[in-house]
Each structure stands twice: as C-alpha cells, then as structure tokens.
Amino acid sequence: MTTETELEKYHIDDRFVIEDVETLKVLADPLRLRLIQALGDKPHTVKQISKLLSIPPNKLYYHVNLLEEHGIIRVVETRIVSGIIEKIYLLTARTYSPAPGLLSPAAQENDSNLLLMVDGIFEETKQTLLESFRAGLVTLEGENTESEEDHILSHLMSMRVNLTEAQVREFASRLRTLVDEYCELDEQNSDHDDSVQPYRLLMTFFPTLKMSDSPEEDEP
C-alpha cells in the first residue's frame, strides 16, 4: 500500500507541457503510451512494466530511455539486484499536453503533428480494446444478447450533437465535475483489490463544420 509519505517522496506534477515536436513524437508512440499507462502513479522497474504489458524487458529499454531523455518519466530510485543496478521509474506528470502554438492551425506542418498525436492515442486505445476483447472482457454486441446492465459496462460510440454555446459550456462543466469525481475514486482504489476492475476512458469533444459549410465535391 502506498503511504502518504511515499506519495510525497514520489512527487508527480499535475501537468507536463510538451514544448517541441520531438517530445510529441516520443509521446505519441502507441507502445510508449501503453508503457505510460502501465506506470500509472506508482514507481516501477522495467521488469515490473514488462510483466504488466507481457512484453520482454529487452524490448522496452529503448522506449524507457527515450521517455526518460525527454523528461516524460524519471528515475526516483536505484537498487542493486544480483550485482546489477536496477532503476525505478515514475511519471513526471499526471497529464501531458502540447504548448500553445505547437499545434496551431496557422502553420501547415502542424496538420501532421496533430495527426501524429491523435493516431498514437487511437492506435494505443485500439490495441488495448483488442486485447480486452480477446480476453472476453469487452462485449460490443446488441443489447438483446445481454441485460442492459451488463451491456453498459462496455460501450463504443461516435455521435454528432447540435448544441448552443450555453449548452456546450454546461456540458463541459458537468463532464469535468463528473470526471474529477471519478478520478478521486480512482485514487482511493489505487491498491487494486479484487473488487476493482480497470477501465479505459477515451474522450473526444470538439466543434465540427456544419453540413452546409462542408467543401463541395467538384462536379465531373
């Protein structure tokens, strides 16, 4: 169990600002995103991460070194194991976000930077979803095959909603409150006893072009 003293010892910042494209590229790699997810808010060795991801340690060292080099993770302790120095790593922040201007639409090259980040997040989520599906943890069939209570435990959807500015602000505020509430529960459940099941939440919410604003296809 992680004590309050240990949490103070292993300080994690609330936010890490990505200042350059190289760091963005390092962070956007699907395997490195999985590695970051595995680390969570507790210190781990590469061998411990290897066990969590079911990936041999020798395939992780390169990625761990890149993450450390760019300040995304850091070494909090070292210890001697069988005469070899073993490093213990921790995330430097709970959230990672690009600096203002790094993904500005004013620069055309930022199109590829945005796609790089989004592709990395979606690819990592896709792989995690596939693993859960193969393990029988995820069911995405119609509700007639299961009770509604069971079906809601696995949900995948994409939708378009038309909202006024006031409604958007209300939605964003209520969503933020809900997320904060359950993030607190996540911290309380951090010991992961038998009654706790990890879940993945991926959110996208952004304005889109109106149908009437969409570019028309050239007529033949």
pLDDT of 28-50, one tens digit each?
A: 899 999 999 888 888 999 999 99
- With cut-offs at 50, 70 and 90, classify the pLDDT of residue 3: very low
- Flag whether 151 is in a domain: no
In a domain, 44, yes or no: yes
We report the CATH number of the domain holding residue 122 as: 1.10.10.10
Please indicate, yes or no, if residue 33 is contained in any of the structural domains: yes
- Residue 144 falls within a domain, yes or no? no
Q: Which two tokens stand for residue 34?
A: 């999985």
Q: Residue 133: pLDDT above 90?
A: no
- The type of residue at 90 is L
Query: CB count, 10 Å around CB of 98?
Result: 20
Q: Are strands 84-91 and 13-18 parallel, antiparallel or unpaired?
A: unpaired
What pLDDT was estimated at residue 101? 78
pLDDT band, very low/low/confident/very high, at 4 (cuts 50, 70, 90): very low
Examine the pLDDT at 155 and tell me if it is beyond 90: no
Domain hosting 93: range is: 4-139
Q: List helix spans (H) across the chain.
A: 4-9, 21-28, 30-39, 46-53, 61-69, 110-134, 148-151, 165-188
| 13 in a structural domain | yes
What's the mean pLDDT in 205-219? 68
Which DSSP symbol is given to 44?
B
pLDDT at 142 over 60: no
pLDDT score of 153 more than 50: yes
- Residue 114 belongs to a domain: yes
> Within a domain: residue 66?
yes
Residue (of 30, 69, 28, 36) closest to 52 by Cα position: 36
* Total number of domains in the chain: 1
Tell me what pLDDT residue 120 has.
86
Q: Is residue 78 part of a domain?
A: yes
d(CA 10, CA 2): 10
Residue partners of 97: CB distance under 8 A and separation at least 6: 15, 16, 17, 18
pLDDT at 106 over 60: yes
Confidence class for position 147, pLDDT limits 50, 70, 90: low
Give mean pLDDT, residues 53-58: 92
